[in-house]
Amino acid sequence: MILDSFKVHSLIFQLQYKEAFLLWDRAGKIASGMKQIWSELKVRNGVPNQQDLACPGCQVSTGLTQSTVVLRGDNVLLSTSLEKLSAAFKVWRFNLDIVELARISARAIFVKNFDSMDEVKRYMFSLAVVEWPTQKVFDQPIDSSKNVPDVMFRFEDEKSFTFVRIRAEERKFEVKLDPDVMENDIKKDTFRVLIDFDRGNLGSVLTEKIKLDEWFKGYVHVMRRDIDKVIRGRS
């Protein structure tokens, strides 16, 4: 499976629901509940319709109609992380009195690092997702390092959706510090391919019927079962 050669980068879990006005009364209790799950969370932003808590590797946003957890790290699909997401779901469900969801979804992002953009491009072209032109098109230089495919597959209907996106990325990271701290700036360039798997359910989902651990089992199950049918190497 193609994902076996990728590392998990992050997981985003999101709920959407009708206006949960109890947010205005219970923001503190929700924040306390989340801090019991991720003890290092600190308040990043707080306005009546949304509160954001964050710590290294985790961000929790609770809103009037949408709440999100973002986890970062290569263990975000393991049971320990998913148990914490289940606990967060319960905090939202009981404190906001959410009976019904309009949407529940999760997005897992996987990365594969390379040493150069040329390697990234060779890898991308080796995948059977797109036919890259062999001649100059649109008056764009054919040898530009930024020429890469960025492909998204959308599978959706009124009950659920699955979006799969594969793209290349070059990231230039630069830190300028006080010369008294460090004489030279820190610079780092990374070159990577990202696979972005976003799946969710739409419509009326009763929260009492949701077993989040089983929901994530289904999420991982279909991802691992079918990803190679969408993205695979050329034979």
Partner 1 sequence: MSVDITVDLPKIISWKTVKLDTSGDAAYGGTISPISKDVVDVVELEGSNTNISDLTANLPVSVRSPRHEVPIGRLYPQLLDSDTSHGRLSVLVKDALDDCRRAVDSYQAGDVATIDSCLANIAAVMQEAYGQSEFNDNLGAVISFVRRAAIAASAVEVSLSSLNALVNALSSISHNPFMDLSEAADLVDSLSDEGWRGEHQAVSAMLECFIGKSDSIDVHQNACLQPELFEE
Residue 25, both tokens: 């009364």
Residues 113 and 189: their CA atoms lie apart, in Å, by: 11
Strand partners, 46: 51
- How far lies 130's CA from each of 136, 149, 153, 220, 235, in Å? 16, 8, 12, 25, 14
Residues 20 and 63: their CA atoms lie apart, in Å, by: 8
Pick 209 or 234: Cβ nearer partner 1:
209
Residue 62, both tokens: 């609770």
Pick 221 or 234: Cβ nearer partner 1:
221
Query: Of 31-39, 89-97, 134-142, 201-209, which part binds partner 1 (CB under 8 A)?
Result: 201-209
CB of 2 to partner 1, least distance (A): 19
CB of 123 to partner 1, least distance (A): 15
Phi, psi of 197, deg, nearest 5: -115, 115
Residues within window 52-71 making contact with partner 1, judged by CB under 8 A: 52, 54, 56-57, 59, 61, 63, 65-66, 68, 70
Residues within window 25-44 making contact with partner 1, judged by CB under 8 A: none
Give one DSSP letter per residue of 103-138, joined into a string: EEEEEEEEEEEESSHHHHHHHHHHBTT----SS--T
Task: Provide the binding-site residues for partner 1, judged by CB under 8 A.
Answer: 10, 12-14, 16, 45, 50, 52, 54, 56-57, 59, 61, 63, 65-66, 68, 70, 72, 102-103, 105-107, 146, 148, 150, 152, 154, 156, 158-161, 163, 165, 167-176, 196, 198, 200-206, 209-211, 214-215, 217-218, 221-222, 225
